[in-house]
Amino acid sequence: MDKRDKNSGDEGAGARVRRETYKGHEIIYPRDERRKKIFIDGRPVRWGETGGTYYLDVYAYDRGRTLDETVKRYIDYLDEADGGDRKEVN
Closest CA to 46 of 3, 54, 77: 54
The amino acid at 34: R
Chunk the chain into consecutive blocks of 10 residues (it has 90) and report each block's average pLDDT, rounded to whole numbers: 41 70 95 88 94 93 93 94 61
Residue-level pLDDT at 76: 94
Tally the C-alpha atoms within 13 A of residue 74's C-alpha that lie toward its C-beta.
Answer: 31
| Domains of the chain with bracketed CATH | 3-81 (3.30.1880.10)
How are beta strands 53-56 and 25-30 bridged, if at all? unpaired
Distance CA 50, CA 82 (A): 29
24's CB contacts (< 8 A; 6+ apart) are: 87
